[in-house]
Amino acid sequence: METPFAVYDALSAINVPPEKVRVVVQSMERDMALFATRSQFGALDQHTAGRFDLLHAEMDTFRERFEQIDRRFEQIDRRFEQVDRRFEQMDKRFDIADQRLSEVARHLEQRLSETARQIEQRLTVRLGSFLAVATAVTATLVVLLRGGPVS
pLDDT digits 0-9 by tens, 54-82: 888 999 999 999 999 999 999 999 999 99
Position 136 in a domain: yes
Q: What is the model's pLDDT at position 128?
A: 93
pLDDT of residue 149: 62
| Residues of the domain holding 47 | 36-146
Residue 56 is assigned to a structural domain of this protein = yes
At 125 the three-state DSSP class reads helix
Number of structural domains in the chain: 1
Instruction: Judge whether 94 lies within some domain.
Output: yes
The letter for the amino acid at 60 is D
pLDDT < 50 positions in the chain: none
Cβ-based neighbour number of residue 35 at 10 Å: 8
What pTM value is reported for the model? 0.42
| Amino acid 151: pLDDT | 58
In a domain, 106, yes or no: yes
Contact by Cβ (8 Å): 68, 60: no
Structural domain includes residue 122: yes
According to the model, what pLDDT value does residue 119 have?
Answer: 95
